[in-house]
Amino acid sequence: MQPTLLRCSRSAWKGPFFVAFPNLREAAESNIPIFTRARSCTILPPFVGVRFQVHNGKSFVPVIVTPEMVGHKLGEFSPTRRRGKMLEPVSATRPTQKKKPGRV
């Protein structure tokens, strides 16, 4: 894999950052997920078809590597933040209170 200047956040002469997973071949053959906290690891072509469990800070998120993911980072596919819920307007959830006469 040749590093491109568009996707590399590192210098091109350094090459992509990756972690050497010692049990990669066994995990690909037996379909066992690899648990990792290396979110900054670049996905390489030998990782295609391997199941990873990427840590998002609280739990491990399952990630199955496809050919379109090559060149990206593992952390891009395990979100660390939850999406905010759409809140209803305050007037719809709370009944309106009547002001008492004579009080300011």
Domain positions in the chain are 24-79
53-89: per-residue pLDDT in tens? 999 999 999 999 999 999 999 999 999 998 887 776 6
Q: How many CB atoms lie within 10 A of CB 23?
A: 10
Q: Domain 24-79: give its CATH superfamily.
A: Ribosomal protein S19/S15 (3.30.860.10)
- Among candidates 45, 50, 34, which has minimal Cα distance to 72? 45
Pairing of strands 34-36, 51-55: parallel
Cα–Cα dist 86/3, whole Å: 41
Does residue 5 have a pLDDT over 50? no
